[in-house]
């Protein structure tokens, strides 16, 4: 008997568990950490550098559950669009490695976990969690009807600031408002960078993005977002009278964001730059977190 050629052998199908892990993006932890960062900023600053450890655990698990739900919702809405975009065509629902029914089941589990964790919080924080749900569920629709859908994502990200702050203080004030706006601008900046490589595909499919809306001025828009983030964080540091380590972290952030804006403005930057900027913002976020902790305690 003649063995079939390698070309004629069917490609192995990924296991359901492996496909679910990819659906949740747990194989790419950078994107999960980027939501956890502003939540940790908030709980640390609200508690003057000494948040209750159980609350920190709930906040961290909550961001994981929430980001998981957001990924599943996004892929369910976009399962017929993602196959036509180079960056997303291998996602499990786009590649039909998972059924819609499995995707919906995973979404229900993620939302149930988030709900269970929210019960630990005080009433104000709980209702902020409820208010965040429509942003999570309908963000993917924004790219179809809103010219800058990254703003909707940024507003969803902002709840990661409001919920922990309210959990610590049982209220909202000017300080959390400054931190909220800083995170909205920061998210708007790095997510606009993330959208740049998809511009040709988005234009062909009739999908909106900040990178398409601002066109050649996207680097300047990203720079504006990062400058606004820095100014708000500086104002917050003055308002909370944070110590030197915070300001050292903020100085480093300014240098990194200035360099990123410069590299984006260069003619035809390498395609790898956009992913690098995203990862650098994760690292930068944790650096700022360390500065916040030390700035509160010293």
pLDDT tens digits for 41-83? 999 999 999 999 999 999 999 999 999 999 999 999 999 998 9
**pLDDT at 2 exceeding the cut of 70:** no
Q: How far is CA 200 from the centre of its chain?
A: 23
Q: In whole numbers, what is the pLDDT of the chain averaged over residues?
A: 92
Question: Where in 40-128 does DSSP place strands (E)?
Answer: none
Question: What is the Cα–Cα distance from 260 to 270, expressed in whole angstroms?
Answer: 13
Q: Cβ(39)–Cβ(67) under 8 Å?
A: no
pLDDT of residue 5: 45
Residue 263: partners with Cβ closer than 8 Å, 6 or more residues away: 269, 273, 277
pLDDT in tens, 256-274: 999 999 999 987 888 899 9
Q: Which domain holds residue 97?
A: 28-297
In a domain, 21, yes or no: no
CA distances from 115 to 49, 85, 107, 287 (A): 27, 33, 12, 30
Q: Is 142 within the bounds of a domain? A: yes
What distance in Å separates the CA atoms of residue 274 and residue 23, rounded to the nearest whole number? 22
Residue 224 has a pLDDT of 96
* pLDDT tens figures, 135-170: 988 888 899 999 999 999 999 999 999 999 999 999
229 pLDDT higher than 90: yes
Which position has the higher pLDDT, 271 or 130? 130
pLDDT at 7 over 50: no
Query: What value does the mean pLDDT take over residues 99-118?
Result: 95
pLDDT of residue 14: 59
CATH of the domain at 115: 1.10.357.140
Contacts by 21-24, CB closer than 8 A, 24 or more apart = 22/91, 22/92, 22/97, 23/71, 23/72, 23/75, 23/91, 23/92, 23/93, 23/98, 23/103, 23/106, 24/68, 24/71, 24/72, 24/106, 24/110
Backbone angles phi, psi at 252, to 5 degrees: -65, -40
- Looking at the chain, the whole-number percentage of residues with pLDDT higher than 90 is 79
84 belongs to a structural domain: yes
Does residue 10 form part of some domain? no
Domain assignment present for 7: no
- Closest by CA to 225, choosing from 266, 263, 192, 255, is 192
pTM metric for this prediction: 0.92
The sign of the torsion formed by the CA atoms of 168, 169, 174, 177 equals: positive
- Would 13 be classed as within a structural domain? no
Q: What is the mean pLDDT of residues 194-210?
A: 91
pLDDT of the residue at 23: 93
Enumerate residues 6+ apart whose C-beta is below 8 A from 40.
56, 59, 60, 164, 289
Neighbouring residues of 292: CB distance < 8 A, sequence distance ≥ 6: 41, 44, 45, 49, 242, 246, 249
In this predicted structure, the answer to whether residue 171 has a pLDDT above a threshold of 60 is: yes
Residue 112, domain member (yes or no): yes
Considering the domain boundaries, does residue 19 fall inside one?
no
Residue 123 binned pLDDT confidence (cut-offs 50, 70, 90):
very high
Range 171-191 average pLDDT? 97
How many domains in the chain? 1
The pair of three-digit structure tokens given for residue 211, joined into one six-digit string:
């990178």
* Confidence check: pLDDT of 10 > 60: no
User: What pLDDT is attached to residue 1?
Assistant: 43
Q: How far is CA 268 from the centre of its chain?
A: 26
């Amino acid at each position: 008997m003649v063995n079939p050629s390698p070309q004629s052998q069917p490609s192995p199908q990924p296991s359901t568990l492996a496909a679910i892990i990819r659906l949740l993006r747990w194989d790419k932890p950078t994107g999960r950490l980027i939501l956890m960062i502003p939540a940790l900023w908030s709980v640390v600053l609200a508690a003057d550098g000494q948040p209750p450890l159980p609350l920190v655990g709930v906040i961290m698990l909550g961001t994981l559950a929430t980001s998981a739900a957001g990924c599943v919702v996004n892929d369910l809405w976009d399962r017929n669009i993602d196959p036509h975009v180079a960056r997303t065509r291998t996602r499990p629902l786009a590649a039909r490695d998972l059924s819609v029914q499995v995707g919906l089941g995973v979404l229900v589990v993620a939302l149930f976990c988030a709900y269970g964790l929210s019960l630990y919080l005080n009433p104000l924080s709980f209702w902020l969690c409820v208010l965040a749900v429509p942003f999570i569920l309908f963000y993917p629709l924004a790219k179809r009807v809103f010219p800058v859908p990254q703003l909707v994502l940024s507003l969803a990200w902002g709840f990661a600031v409001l919920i922990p702050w309210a959990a610590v203080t049982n209220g909202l004030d000017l300080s959390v408002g400054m931190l909220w706006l800083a995170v909205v601008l920061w998210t708007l900046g790095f997510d606009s960078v993330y959208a740049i490589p998809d511009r040709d595909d988005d234009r062909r499919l009739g999908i909106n993005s900040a990178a398409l809306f601002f066109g050649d001025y996207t680097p300047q828009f990203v720079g504006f977002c990062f400058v606004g983030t820095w100014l708000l964080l500086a104002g917050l540091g003055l308002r909370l009278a944070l110590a030197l380590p915070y300001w050292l972290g903020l100085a480093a952030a300014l240098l990194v964001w200035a360099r990123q804006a410069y590299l984006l403005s260069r003619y035809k930057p390498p395609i790898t730059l956009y992913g690098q900027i995203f990862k650098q913002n994760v690292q930068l976020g944790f650096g700022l977190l360390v500065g916040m902790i030390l700035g509160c305690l010293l």
